[in-house]
Structure 1
Amino acid sequence: MSRKQRHPLQAMTAMSMILSQLVGSVLLGLFLGRWLDQKFGTEPLFLILCLLLGLGAGIYAMLRTVRHYFSGE
């Protein structure tokens, strides 16, 4: 997008998308890790792994969103 076409609501949309992607993926990793730990009896192992995977997925999704909004498409 060029600077002339940007609107304040587009910035708010981008920020809310980034926030929801980061928070959603981390929470999904947290709950999935806790559930797997309870199922298999490996207390902090899956929690830590799924939390890190969720954080990585959230950062990847955030970078894709930022690239989309600032690439000029």
Structure 2
Amino acid sequence: MKRSKPPFQAMALTSAIVSQLAGGPLAGVFIGKWIDSHFSTAPTFLIIGLFLGLGAGTYGTIRLVRSYSGDD
């Protein structure tokens, strides 16, 4: 019989997923706005940063879930 994981580990995973999904796009937006302010290209790099942040957050979330579930 397979043992279930402790509930605190699941809560930690949930917190990590939320921070990955929120932190990636936020970082991308802030970096994109900063680049746009220096090169006067608004909103080009903001949009690029947002999509890169979404991709990074999704990729990080997939890696977290795989490591939690045991799929390497």
Same fold, TM-score > 0.5, yes or no: yes
Q: What does the per-residue CA deviation read over 1:28-73, in whole Å, with 9 as the maximum and x for residues that have no partner?
A: 0010010011100001100000100000000000000000000168
Instruction: Please identify runs of 4+ aligned residues in structure 1 that moved more than 2 A.
Output: none
* Alignment of structure 1 residues 36-47 onto 2, 5 Å: 36-47=35-46
With structure 2 as the length reference, what TM-score do the two structures score? 0.91
Q: Which amino acid aligns with 2:9?
A: Q
Matched, 1:15 2:27: no
Aligned residues: 72
Is 1:27 aligned with 2:26? yes
Which one-letter code corresponds to 1:45 in the other structure?
A: T
User: Whole-Å Cα distance in 2 between the matches of residues 3 and 64 of structure 1?
Assistant: 22
User: CA separation in 2, counterparts of 1:5 and 1:61?
Assistant: 23
Unaligned runs of 5+ in 2: none
Distance 1:47 1:27 in 2: 10
* Unaligned segments of structure 1, at least 5 residues: none
Which residue of 2 is the match for residue 67 of structure 1? 66
**Corresponding residue of 2:50:** 51
